Amino acid sequence: MNEVNEIIEVPVIHHSKKIMISYNFGSVVAELIGTVLIMVLFIYYETEIGLSSLLTGLALATFAVWDAINDPIVGYLSDRPYRFTKKWGRRFPWIIGSFIPMVICFLLIFTPPNVDPQDNPWIIFIWLIITTCLFDTFESMVFMNFFSLFPDKFRTESERLKVSGFGIYFGFFGILIGMLLPPMIIVFERSETYFLMAIVVVIICLVCWIISIPGVRDDKEVVECFLAKCEETEDISIFKDLSSAIKQKNLRAYMIVYFLFFVLMSTMGASFLYYVRFVLNAEASLTVLIMGLYLLGVLVATPLWLVYVRKTHEKKRVMIMGGIIMVSTAILITFIPNLTFLLIIIFIHGMGLGGFSVMINPVFSDVIDESVILTENRREGLLGGLRFFVTNLARVVQALILAFVHELTGFIEDSDTQPASAIFGIQLHIGLIPALFLLVGLLTFWKLYDITPDKVEQNKLKLKQLGL
């Protein structure tokens, strides 16, 4: 066993800042596209195209269910070796080959058939399902492999924190563009402006994609070790892999809090344009100011969170503290519909988000390390697919929240004015409802997750001994 481990031992590879920065340009694309879809897709089809709340919610829930099913399968398939793996790598071919089809499908989402939604709602409904599901299939191939590359490529604690630190700024640059670009381009009651926005998004993504190419290449030495290890290990079915993964307590704790965090993020993100238009009675451009302060809070707080975690190594504590700030501020937004107050609270909310977000990848990497030790196999793709699964399960919840709240509170589609009950419904789905979801996630994570700083170091030594 020792001789085998010596032969296939993974070398310590130190990456330059250029490679780290190049890699994180992929985060810009991921966050930009995801943020735009969360912010505008529901309101576009409901208020601009005129599709009913329930049909819009059902279509987007179907899209999210497909995504949830699709992601673990893509992850499992990408974990396997292929003829091209030795020459091109494990993740790189998937990331590069699926990108162009993904952005083409993104554009198709914003070109629905020119039919009256009152006479032919099912045509638009089916178009929305088909285009989003096609988009998602290619998106899964790109970003599931992109995020799965992180723990395999960056293996030391210092590099993971450094790349994650860069990733916060690059990721939130993508979120910044995703939040600010739509209200700068779209005009309420002019549906063609949404397609113009989509074109601009695709152009930005293409530029970032080209810059990311050096950073998303697999390290040759790591690929060779992976292929050597594959020759020793038995091929396991996706169902056995998933069953083994779900038994890992810390993975369950992480997935629960990540799922409920994303319920909050996607529901609040989808609510901002509704809030500006119907609660504040303002133009879409006001969202630029709100989102700007939101992300300023993230950028101001992130370095402080990083300094704290480098001194204490308490990643769990940082996630919980950041989450508590997010829950508290989201509840306040619900009951005080005032612009000045909103601007202050949204800045503080962003500070909490900075703490939670900066730990997402490092904590997930610790969970993956533990999983590798327990199974003696590297299954980043499958676990990354599982994370995408819960992300898209959160989108199902988000779509259903908006659909049912709007139905129950009397929201009027394709109308510029709403009754008081519908306005209060918007206040509920921008704050209180998603805040309660995240609160449950934080309590579960606090109770179950037990990977301490000492355990992280022990796991690093075990991985080295296993040659993984």
Query: What is residue 7's predicted lDDT score, i.e. its pLDDT?
Result: 41
- The predicted structure's pLDDT at residue 391: 79
Half-sphere exposure of 33 (CA within 13 A, CB side): 30
Q: Residue 372: is its pLDDT beyond 80?
A: no
Given this model, what pLDDT does residue 5 score?
Answer: 42
Task: Tell me the sheet residues that pair with 187.
Answer: 190
Residue 208 has what pLDDT?
A: 92
Provide the pLDDT for residue 27. 86
pLDDT at site 1: 38
DSSP secondary structure code for residue 110 in this structure: T
Dihedral of alpha carbons 215, 141, 434, 63, sign? positive
DSSP assignment letter at 187:
B
- pTM of the complete model: 0.69
Residue 233 has pLDDT above 70, yes or no: no
- Give the count of beta carbons closer than 10 Å to the beta carbon of residue 270: 25
Reported confidence tier of residue 240, pLDDT bands at 50, 70, 90: low
Q: What is the DSSP string of 312-346?
A: H--HHHHHHHHHHHHHHHHHHHHH---HHHHHHHH
Residue 178, both tokens:
């995703």
| Mean pLDDT for all residues in the chain | 82
Amino acid at position 192, single letter: E
Measured CA to CA, the distance from residue 189 to residue 191 in angstroms comes to: 6
The pLDDT score that the predictor gives to residue 435 is 96
Residue 242: its pLDDT value, please? 60
pLDDT digits (tens, 9 = 90+) for 3-40: 444 444 556 677 788 888 898 898 899 889 988 988 88
Q: Give the mean model confidence (pLDDT) for residues 206-231.
A: 77
What are 114-163's pLDDT values in tens digits?
888 787 889 999 999 999 999 988 988 888 888 777 777 777 767 777 77
Specify whether the CB–CB gap between 353 and 366 falls below 8 A: no
The number of helix segments (H) and strand segments (E) in the chain equals 20, 0
Which residues, in sequence order, are CB contacts of 61 under 8 Å at separation 6+?
395, 396, 399, 400, 403
Query: What pLDDT sits at residue 378?
Result: 62
> How sure is the predictor about 324, in pLDDT bands with cuts at 50, 70 and 90?
very high
pLDDT in tens, 428-451: 999 999 999 999 999 999 999 888
Residue 465 pLDDT grade (very low, low, confident, very high; cuts 50, 70, 90): low
Question: Which runs of consecutive H residues, i.e. helices, occur in 336-379?
Answer: 339-358, 360-375
Residue 260 to residue 418: CA distance in whole angstroms: 29
**pLDDT at residue 3, rounded to an integer:** 42
- Per-residue pLDDT tens digits for 73-91: 777 777 777 777 777 877 8
Q: Which domains does the chain have, with CATH numbers?
A: 15-218+237-466 (1.20.1250.20)
Pairwise CA distance, residues 36 & 174, whole Å: 10
Read off the pLDDT of residues 250-263 as tens digits, 9 standing for 90 and up. Answer: 888 998 999 999 89
Q: How many CA atoms lie within 13 A of 2 on its CB side?
A: 0
Evaluate the CA torsion angle 444, 437, 297, 198 in order and state its sign: positive
Specify the higher pLDDT residue, 310 or 326: 326
Q: Span 363-368, mean pLDDT?
A: 82
What pLDDT is recorded for position 375? 67
Give the distance from CA 6 to its chain's centroid: 37
Handedness of CA 66, 68, 73, 75 (dihedral sign): positive
Confidence at residue 125, expressed as pLDDT on a 0 to 100 scale = 93
| Mean pLDDT on 332-344 | 87
pLDDT of 456 higher than 60: yes
Q: What is the mean pLDDT of residues 355-384?
A: 75
